Amino acid sequence: MKKVLSLVLALVMLFSFAVVTGCGGNSDSSEDDFLVGAIYINGKNDTAGYTFAHHNGITKAMEQLGMDVSKQLKIVDNVPEDDAQVTNAINTLASQGCKIIIGISFGYINAMEAAAEKYPEIIFSHATGYLSNDKNFNNYFGRIYQARYLAGIAAGKKSLALGNNNIGYVAAYGTEYAETCSGINAFALGVQAINPDAKVHVMKLNAWANESLERQFAEQLITQYGCGVIAQHCDSAQPQIAAQDKGVFGCGYNSDMTSQAANAHLTAPIWNWDVYYKLAIETAKNDPDNFMTKVGIYYGGLKEGFVDISPLTNNCEEGTKEIIDAVKAMMVSGEWDVFTNVKLSIAADGTITKVDGAMLDNKGGEVISADNTYYVYADGALKAVDGGAAAQDGVIKGSMNWYVAGVEEK
């Protein structure tokens, strides 16, 4: 007994000694006034993926605003989409004195809605959501479809050069989610602008991330359907790596995937989250009362620099850059956009012509009419969506459930 006790005590003393000598009297200087709170779905020390992209955006924005990230940013990470745990995370951040709380995952929606009412003095900002109020609760997302259209042009140009009209697309989901659906459509429209005969073959994972399936589907698209370019809407670079291994080409997503598949990658639609975070944090700090008028429901695109494509690689065909720059300029200036009653037709020499007319889905239904009315399927039939531009954005973000002609789901 005594031996065991003395052993335990000796170890305790050893460790407490190590602790005492290890830490000197640093930290705790002046208390910073403005605190930013963030709730992440994965770890704050991640080095790739969705949480990493957001964390990077928040820290970059705070640095640009001259804030001390280590003191002024409070994070609760690895929070699953569970109302109880999200509420706990919000309560923790609120009781530490955070003045803006950022939630990056869709499933945080219930808890953030309730918290916005409970804490009227704190601003709540929710990525990918659809709820808001008029004082302290907004949502934000981006026109990533614009970037996907540009990536589609690069893929279409490549398919012409390869003489292969089959293009593959590994998607998390299909028409179930407007986010994936509008992405697939925009990419297909970009491809068809330059190669009208191209077909986009979609295989869906039914999960936002599944690395082994992502690779398997890409391989299947290449070997079974003869695809020469592989695009993707999923987390990892596996589809690009598979494309490289099989000697074909691809467009990544989320971050520049050139480093993972240097011989295959063309370009990737990417997010610049810091653009939004800078606006949101700055407004919350300096003018919180007008947050909803100054920031509001945020849906930035190429114009704001919120979405973009990664630099074109040497795998791209010659002349791709000029075409993409021209189309990008049209979207930045607001002269033209993807989901409209006007399509672009790009000739081999790079001349861009506008073609008026309705947009058809792959079942022959008119989904955007000649007078620019949007339609979505409801109970098996196409129904018109009225309510102007905001409602049309609502379709792209929330209710689009059709594929444009030329898209085939496998």
Partner 1 sequence: MTKSSKEPLIRVVKRQGIKTWQICLLYLGAVILALGIGAVLLLFLKANPFEYYEMMFTLNTVGNKMAYIQYETYIQELVPLLITSLALSLAFKMRFWNIGGEGQFFLGALAGAAVAFMIPTSANVFLTIFLMVVAGSLVGGLIGLSTAALKVKFNTNETLFTLMINYIALYIMRFFGETKADWNIFLRPDSERPKFNQIPDNAKMFTIPIGKFSLELSFILVILLVAVVYFYLKHTKQGYEIAVVGDSINTARYAGMKVNKVICRTMFMSAALIGAAGALRVSSVYALSDTISNDVGWTGIVVAWLAKLNPIGIVIVSALITILQCGSVVASSNFSNVDSHFADLLQGIILFVVLAADFFIRFKIVFRKKNTEKQSKEANV
Among 49, 56, 65, 81, binds partner 1 (CB under 8 A): 81
Least separation in angstroms between residue 39's CB and partner 1 is: 10
- For partner 1, the closer of residues 14 and 355 by Cβ is 14
Helix-, strand-, coil-residue percentages of the chain, each rounded to 5: 40, 20, 35
**Looking at beta carbons only, is 97 or 296 nearer to partner 1?**
97
Question: Do residues 342 and 336 lie in contact, with contact meaning Cβ atoms separated by under 8 Å?
Answer: yes
Residues in region 24-53 near partner 1 by CB under 8 A: 26-28, 37, 43-45
If binding means CB under 8 A, how many residues of this protein chain bind partner 1?
56
The whole-angstrom distance between residue 324's C-alpha and the CA centroid of its chain comes to 20
Which one of 62, 100, 102, 109 is in contact with partner 1 (CB under 8 A)? 109
Contact 254, 268 (CB under 8 A): yes
Candidate ranges 107-115, 189-197, 236-244, 363-371; the one touching partner 1 (CB under 8 A):
107-115
**Strand 229-233 versus strand 249-251 pairing type:** parallel
List 23, 348, 381, 384, residue binding partner 1 (CB under 8 A): 23
Which two structure tokens, joined as six digits, stand for 29? Answer: 């200087």
Nearer of residues 63 and 335 to partner 1, judged by Cβ: 63
SS3 158: helix
Among 50, 52, 177, 277, binds partner 1 (CB under 8 A): 177
Supply the minimum distance, in Å, between the C-beta of residue 286 and partner 1: 24
Give pairs for 377-386: CB < 8 Å, separation 24+: 377/401, 377/402
Contact pattern for partner 1 over residues 114 through 133, marking x by CB under 8 A? x---------------x---
Measured CA angle at 72 (ends 109, 113), to 5 deg:
15
For 104, how many CA atoms within 13 A lie in the half-sphere containing its CB?
26
Q: Across 47-122, where does the E strand assignment appear?
A: 73-76, 100-103
Smallest gap from Cβ 105 to partner 1, in A, equals 11
Asked whether position 151 contacts partner 1 by CB under 8 A, the answer is no
Asked if 84 interacts with partner 1 (CB under 8 A), we say yes
Q: For residues 23 and 381, which CB has a smaller minimum distance to partner 1 in the complex?
A: 23
Q: Given the complex with partner 1, which of 110 and 373 has the nearer CB atom?
A: 110
Does 18 help bind partner 1 (rule: CB under 8 A)?
Answer: yes
The whole-angstrom separation of Cα 331 and Cα 335 is: 6
CA distance 148 to 327: 12
Strand segments (E) across 12-144? 36-39, 73-76, 100-103, 123-127, 137-142
Which region among 104-112, 197-205, 240-248, 281-289 touches partner 1 (by CB under 8 A)?
Answer: 104-112
140 - beta bridge partners? 127, 298
Interface with partner 1 (CB under 8 A), residue from 41, 53, 67, 93:
93
Is 8 a residue that touches partner 1 (CB under 8 A)? yes
Q: How far apart are CA 12 and CA 10, in angstroms?
A: 5
Q: Which of 29, 30, 47, 95 binds partner 1 (CB under 8 A)?
A: 95
| Residues 60-79, interacting with partner 1 (CB under 8 A) | 69-70, 73-79
Decide: is 110 part of the binding site for partner 1 (CB under 8 A).
yes
88 is an interface residue for partner 1 by CB under 8 A: yes
Measured from the CB atom, the residue of 55 and 157 that comes closer to partner 1 is: 55
Q: Is 87 exposed, middle or buried (0-12, 13-18, 19+ CB in 10 A)?
A: middle
Six-digit token string for 371: 């007078």
CB-based contact 373:385 (threshold 8 Å): yes
Q: In 346-356, which positions are buried (b, 16+ CB within 10 angstroms) versus exposed (e)? A: beeeeeeeeee
- Residue with Cβ nearer partner 1 (55 or 201): 55
**Residue entry with tokens 């705070």:** 62
Kindly state whether residue 106 participates in binding partner 1, applying the rule CB under 8 A: yes
Task: Select from 56, 65, 87, 304 the one that contacts partner 1 (CB under 8 A).
Answer: 87
Q: Residue numbers of the site for partner 1 (CB under 8 A)? A: 1, 4-5, 8-9, 11-12, 14-16, 18-19, 22-23, 26-28, 37, 43-45, 69-70, 73-85, 87-89, 91-97, 106-107, 109-110, 114, 130, 177-178, 398-399
